[in-house]
Amino acid sequence: MRLVLVDDDSVQLEKLKGVFKSVKAHELVGMYTEPLKAFDQLENDAPDLILTDILMPGMNGIELIKKVKSKVPGVDIIALTVVDEIDVVFSALRAGATGYLLKDISNEEFLSAVQELNIGGSPISPRIARLIITDFQEKEKVGENILTGRERDILLKLEFGLIYKEIADKLNLSHHTVRWHIKNIFKKLHANNKDGALKEARKKGLL
């Protein structure tokens, strides 16, 4: 299996390189800290599997997944990230990711996940699987368009006048993750800006 690794953290790339080095069945054909470079080398690398981080500067992992699947639909892609936010998970899967793994897994669990992919599975970290199940159960009860608890927290912070960085600090999230949530809030509330989102949220009794 030909592998490509994409992560803006070079230390993480070296760690993954070490994991795969001992497995003869896997050939590491590319490592990239910039998603766009990985995409540009797609034809030359001809990977069977791409492992990509999600939150990266410039082109993020979701955008990379979409572009790769559009160009080479048969390539498998696993998101390998620290992000355990359900909206990000679904965005990655909708974009075309075959699996979603958290970086806190052990080397053995990681290799088992890749093997699972080889036999037709879709490797997903247990914590992510629980989030997906919980999300579906909640949506069954309250409807598709309701905001998640995290989105409500962020919306309340916006109502109080906090800027993105302050929200990120308050909720112990990255700036990228806060922006991601706000984008989803706008989409769900059919709003183009903060004021429009707050107005719609009040109409729906969400604030």
- Mean pLDDT score across all residues of the chain: 91
Distance of CA 177 to the CA centre of its chain: 10
Q: Is residue 144 in some structural domain? A: no
Q: What is the CATH number of the domain that holds 91?
A: 3.40.50.2300
Structural domain including 68 reads 2-132
Separation of first and last alpha carbons in the chain: 50
Q: Which residue has the higher pLDDT, 195 or 25?
A: 195
CA angle 52, 54, 59 (to 5 degrees): 90
CA-to-CA dists, residue 66 to 33, 91, 128, 141, 200, angstroms: 18, 10, 21, 31, 30
Q: How many helices (H) and strands (E) does the chain have?
A: 11, 5
> Which pLDDT belongs to residue 201?
85
Number of domains in the chain: 2
Q: Give the span between the Cα atoms of 6 and 1, in whole angstroms.
A: 16
Mean pLDDT of 77-83: 96
Tell me how far apart the alpha carbons of residues 9 and 56 are, in angstroms, rounded to a whole number.
Answer: 9
Query: What SS3 class is residue 81?
Result: strand
- Write out pLDDT tens, residues 118-158: 899 999 999 999 999 988 777 655 544 578 889 989 999 99
pLDDT at 34 over 80: yes
- Whether 193 and 127 share a structural domain: no
**Model-level pTM greater than 0.95?**
no
In the predicted model, is pLDDT for residue 28 greater than 60? yes
Considering the domain architecture, whether residues 55 and 94 belong to the same structural domain is answered as yes
Q: What is the pLDDT of residue 24?
A: 81
- φ, ψ for residue 20 (rounded to 5)? -80, -20
How high is the pLDDT of residue 144? 47
pLDDT of 185 strictly over 80: yes
- Flag whether pLDDT at 80 surpasses 70: yes
Q: What is the CATH number of the domain that holds 158?
A: 1.10.10.10
**How far apart are the C-alpha atoms of 199 and 156, rounded to whole Å?**
12
Report percent pLDDT > 90 for the chain: 75
Contact by Cβ (8 Å): 76, 98: yes
What is the pLDDT at residue 141?
Answer: 57
Helices (H), 32-106: 35-40, 42-45, 61-71, 86-95
Q: Encoding tokens for residue 151?
A: 């989105």
Residue 62 has pLDDT above 60, yes or no: yes
Provide the CB-side half-sphere exposure for 75 (13 A, CA).
26
| 142 found inside a domain | no
The answer to whether residues 102 and 54 belong to one domain is yes
- Contact present, 93 and 125 (Cβ < 8 Å): no
pLDDT (0 to 100) of residue 131? 92
